[in-house]
Structure 1
Amino acid sequence: MAAGGSAAAALGAWLVFEDEAGFAMTPPTKHTWARRGRTPVIRVRGRSRRRLSIAALACYKPEHRSRLIYRRRMDDGNRDGRKSFAWTDYRDLLQAAHAQLGGPIVLVWDNLNTHLAAGMRTYIAARDWLTVYQLPSYAPDLNPVEGIWSVLRRTSQANTAFTDPEHLIHSIRSGLHDIQYRSDLIDGCLAGTGLTPPSGSP
């Protein structure tokens, strides 16, 4: 993991962590106040099993405000349809991030099979602005994007009775939008992993 940070510093690059998560119509629960003996009940619609997938990048660079860049994908509701990101979706996300960040990227992500697809490997090899490191297996605690998901589930998602998939999409988009304007929170997610930011960060 230190290699990723060292490479980013040496190249003057953004150190970027990626992770993906799925969100369903059933909300995560959170502690709340209630009258003694009156357990709060949130009724949710059970008809829709559609899930929203989010792929997000937490981006860090010395002397720059930390950034959060993401893309969403709603499954089509068909039993045989694709419910997660294809390698081409990750390609497009990285291409957009490169344009937004305006510089080289040192990417750190896990060993998801889509990340290791032949098309993805070919794409990475052909981009001199992109260097990739794999996280160790079963090491979500080293990925600051996991902290982003935790914040999202404890705030805009918690105890919410979603009326339909569009309500779910709007809620997640609003929650992520709030996080994007909180660079201190994005920094805190990196600090929570025990990793240090690239050398020279403020």
Structure 2
Amino acid sequence: MKTRAWAWWAASWRATRAARKLLLPRNPGKGRWNRTRRPYGPGCRPRARVSKKKVAQGATLVYLDEVGFSLKGVLRRTWAQRGKTPVVRLPASWQKLSTIGAITSNGQFLQRTQTGAVKTGDVLAFLNHLLKHVTGELVVLDNAAIHRAKAVSAFVEAQDRLSLVYLPPYSPEFNPIEKVWAYVKRNVLGNFCARTTKELRTRLRAGWQRIRYIQLPQRLMAATSI
């Protein structure tokens, strides 16, 4: 009985610690977690000025990104009986689902999940989705190369309510939605063995509901400043 109680306490403590790590950015210089609120680096000051001006005028910031989920699964540490190594069996398949999603400065979370890779047409469809579900002027912050396509630029220029600001390449720490993807991979898909993309989609659907239920986007934005 004591062993079970200890296991439950340890699991709860680890979950709390993981949530703190997710919300607090890491200072690589000091090697510890801190509460510095800097979503932009020194090279992003022009972008920060543009965003601050737009927000002061009532615009909504939208952090946009894409992520892929495959049937290969996400392995995590787990509890097991001493001397017996847990085995996770996965299908030999390269099938995957792709999600394009966004969180807004007021805590909204929007996503679209599909089979295969996200293409230019899917990006345009999602931007239309944003314009439909988020009111007012939107400033989309993004760093995906595919979103620099001519069709995307032309679409943005044709929209009075929409402007696009590119974040520096290879800088996921500037985009808080990356922490949403990390949460899903660790806490929703960890050690989950989907046999088909249908099973994976069902699991992700539950994950998106959990994201909204625990108000993760709102908590992330509360820990982020422009």
Same fold (TM over 0.5): yes
Mapped pair 1:70 → 2:111: yes
By percentage of residues, which structure has more helix?
A: 2
Query: Does the 8 Å contact 2:108/2:218 carry over to 1?
Result: no
Q: Which has the larger radius of gyration?
A: 2
CA positional deviation for 1:191:
5.8
Counterpart AA for 2:108: R
**Per-residue CA shift, 1:141-176, capped at 9, x if unaligned?**
111111001100111100011121100111112101
Mapped pair 1:87 → 2:116: no
Mapped pair 1:21 → 2:40: no
Report the 3-state secondary structure (helix = DSSP H, G, I; strand = E; otherwise coil) of the residue aligned with 1:150.
helix
Provide the rounded CA distance (Å) in 1 between the counterparts of 2:51 and 2:140. Answer: 10
Query: Does the 8 Å contact 2:98/2:114 carry over to 1?
Result: yes
Provide the rounded CA distance (Å) in 2 between the counterparts of 1:15 and 1:94. Answer: 13
Structure 2: unaligned runs, 5 residues or longer: 1-39, 41-47
**Per-residue CA shift, 1:96-126, capped at 9, x if unaligned?**
11111122111000041x2111111110111
Query: Does the 8 Å contact 1:156/1:175 carry over to 2?
Result: yes
Provide the rounded CA distance (Å) in 1 between the counterparts of 2:50 and 2:199. Answer: 38
Counterpart AA for 1:86: K
Identity rate, percent: 27
1:44/1:188 Cα in 2 relative to 1: closer, same or farther (>3 Å)? same
Query: Does the 8 Å contact 1:4/1:15 carry over to 2?
Result: no
Residue in 1 aligned with 2:91? Answer: 45
TM-score by length of 1: 0.83
Aligned ranges 1:156-175 → 2 under 5 Å: 156-175=188-207
Counterpart AA for 1:138: Y
CA positional deviation for 1:8:
3.5
Aligned pair count reads 180
Residue in 2 aligned with 1:59? Answer: 104
Provide the rounded CA distance (Å) in 2 between the counterparts of 1:4 and 1:97. Answer: 20
CA positional deviation for 1:55:
0.6
Provide the rounded CA distance (Å) in 2 between the counterparts of 1:121 and 1:32. Answer: 46
1:180/1:5 Cα in 2 relative to 1: closer, same or farther (>3 Å)? farther
Counterpart AA for 2:220: C
1:152/1:97 Cα in 2 relative to 1: closer, same or farther (>3 Å)? same
Residue in 2 aligned with 1:200? Answer: none
Q: 4+ runs of 1 displaced by more than 2 Å?
A: 1-5, 180-183, 187-192
TM-score by length of 2: 0.74
Query: Does the 8 Å contact 1:27/1:158 carry over to 2?
Result: yes
CA RMSD, Structure 1 to Structure 2 (Å): 1.7
CA positional deviation for 1:4:
5.0
Counterpart AA for 2:175: N
Structure 1: unaligned runs, 5 residues or longer: 76-83, 198-202
